[in-house]
Amino acid sequence: MKKSIKHIITVLLAACIIMTGSITGDTITVNAAAKYEQLEKGCTITMKVGETKRFLMTDEDGKDLVVNTAWKTSDKNIVSIETDFADERCITEYIQFTANAEGTAIISGRSAIDYAIDRYNGFEREHCPDDFSITVKVTKPTVKMTAKQKRCTHFWRVSRKATCQRVGTKICKKCKLEKVIKKTGHKWETITSKVPVVTDVIYEMWINRDDLNINTDEPDATVRLSDYIPAEQLARAHVVETPINPFVMEYDVINLPEGTENAEKAFFDKCHEYDTGYYDASSHEMRGYTFGFRDIYGDEWIDETNTICEYCGRHK
């Protein structure tokens, strides 16, 4: 049983890449030498399968919107998005689109400030309108091979590795023909490490208020997994976070013994009871909440083996 929650992710500064671009009407066109382009609200972008584009976005006053926007794609199998990038000065953030398959995807964005206020007040993101949307139309690439490329016995070099998140590309070292590499499945890696014994997994919730300090204030609600599954069966269990997209985290308790599925569901069902915010009868207002999961450790240490996807971090 899993629990999802939406987070504001502060976009981190990463690789510095020089980029330029242009826009024609409502449809953005690509200059072959361009490294990035400027996004506009409501525009339509055309891409080919396997293509990657990088964009900047600012408001009317020139203020950056990439880092201050909660982004999502309607279908990551058609277009996936990434935002952990910055320009050559490591100052201006940009967003990257990758076309994975033919079709149309809607990339939408909403002010991170509005998103944070709604979360504080106990509202879910999907119940609130987005600030803008961008249409991305992806078509199959039309490759015209030269006579040399048709005769070539290709020797491929991978220019961009395919993952479970996006397609890749490969280029022939001899004739420079480029082809798309399909998305892969998860690449599982098994890791064994020494970890302390877990004695409990708890969920804690604090009702939001101006003077809230979750490091010192007692939670307003606590749910213990040991109330549903005996503590001696929790030695190898612990909570994991899996990002579903840049704004959604999925929580799960792994390494539980077989036969505890119903008890685990009951634990998360109880946690979900606090997900709709808190009604303050005195002010007749809904108040938001802050929550967290954590493992409680004992003094003993044991060997733990986990199988994790090298690309996306999912646990098997």
Alpha carbons 164 and 311: distance in angstroms, whole number: 7
Backbone phi, then psi, for 271, in 5-degree steps? -65, -40
Lowest-pLDDT choice from 244-248, 283-287, 290-294, 302-306? 244-248
Tell me the C-alpha distance between 90 and 285, whole Å.
Answer: 42
Which tokens sit at 25? 């009407």
Same domain, 12 and 128: yes
Query: Rounded mean pLDDT of 267-279?
Result: 78
* Contacts of range 19-28, beta carbons closer than 8 Å, 24 or more positions apart: 19/54, 19/56, 19/87, 19/94, 21/55, 21/56
Residue 47 has pLDDT above 80, yes or no: yes
* Confidence (pLDDT) at 282: 65
C-alpha to C-alpha distance for 64 and 43, rounded to whole angstroms: 17
pLDDT digits (tens, 9 = 90+) for 200-225: 999 998 888 788 887 788 898 899 99
What distance in Å separates the CA atoms of residue 47 and residue 29, rounded to the nearest whole number? 9
70 lies in which domain range?
Answer: 2-139
Q: 26 versus 283: which is more confidently predicted?
A: 283
The number of folded domains in the chain is 3
State the average pLDDT for the chain: 78
Contact 274, 289 (CB under 8 A): yes
- The verdict on 130 and 157 lying in the same domain is no
Same domain, yes or no: 135 and 19: yes
Question: Residue 221: CB partners within 8 Å, gap ≥ 6?
Answer: 203, 204, 205, 274
pLDDT at 148: 92
Which residue would you say has higher pLDDT here, 104 or 64? 104
Is residue 105 in a domain?
yes
Name the token pair of 141. 């690439």
Asked if residue 82 lies in contact with residue 98, where contact means CB atoms within 8 angstroms, the answer is yes
pLDDT bracket for residue 58 (50, 70, 90): confident
Torsion of CA 60, 65, 68, 74, to 10 degrees: 120
- Average the pLDDT over 37-42 and give the result: 87
**Residue 243: is its pLDDT beyond 80?**
no
Nearest to 222 by CA among 194, 203, 236, 246: 203
The pLDDT confidence band at residue 197, using thresholds 50, 70 and 90, is very high
- Do the beta carbons of residue 165 and residue 81 sit within 8 Å? no
Lowest mean pLDDT among 2-16, 72-86, 149-163: 2-16
Same domain, 87 and 163: no
Is the same domain home to 6 and 121? yes
Does the residue 315 lie in any domain?
Answer: no
Closest to 108 measured CA to CA, from 77, 79, 140: 79
pLDDT, average across residues 5-32? 33
316 part of a folded domain: no
Same domain membership, residue 200 and residue 301:
yes
Q: How far apart are CA 73 and CA 136, in angstroms?
A: 10
* pLDDT band per the 50, 70, 90 thresholds, residue 109: confident
pLDDT tens-digit map of 91-103:
557 888 999 999 9
Whether 134 and 14 map to the same domain: the answer is yes
So what's the pLDDT on residue 279?
A: 60
Q: Return the higher-pLDDT residue of 208 and 228.
A: 228
Is 288 inside a domain boundary? yes
User: Which of 161, 181, 201 is the last residue before a domain boundary?
Assistant: 181
Beta bridge partner(s), residue 136: 45, 105
Q: What is the pLDDT of residue 130?
A: 65
DSSP-assigned beta bridge partners for residue 160: 169
Euclidean distance between CA atoms 168 and 158, whole angstroms: 8
What DSSP string runs through 220-252? SEEEEGGGTS-GGG-TT-EEEEEEEETTEEEEE
- The rounded distance, in Å, linking the Cα atoms of 282 and 31 is 60
Give me the pLDDT at residue 216, please: 84
Looking at per-residue pLDDT, the higher value among 193 and 243 belongs to: 193
Nearest-angstrom CA–CA distance, 30 and 17: 17
Contacts for 168-174 with beta carbons within 8 Å, 24 or more apart?
168/50, 169/50
Domain contains 314: no
- pLDDT category at 285 given cuts 50, 70, 90 is low
pLDDT in tens, 124-180: 444 456 678 899 999 988 778 899 999 999 999 999 899 988 888 999 999 999 888
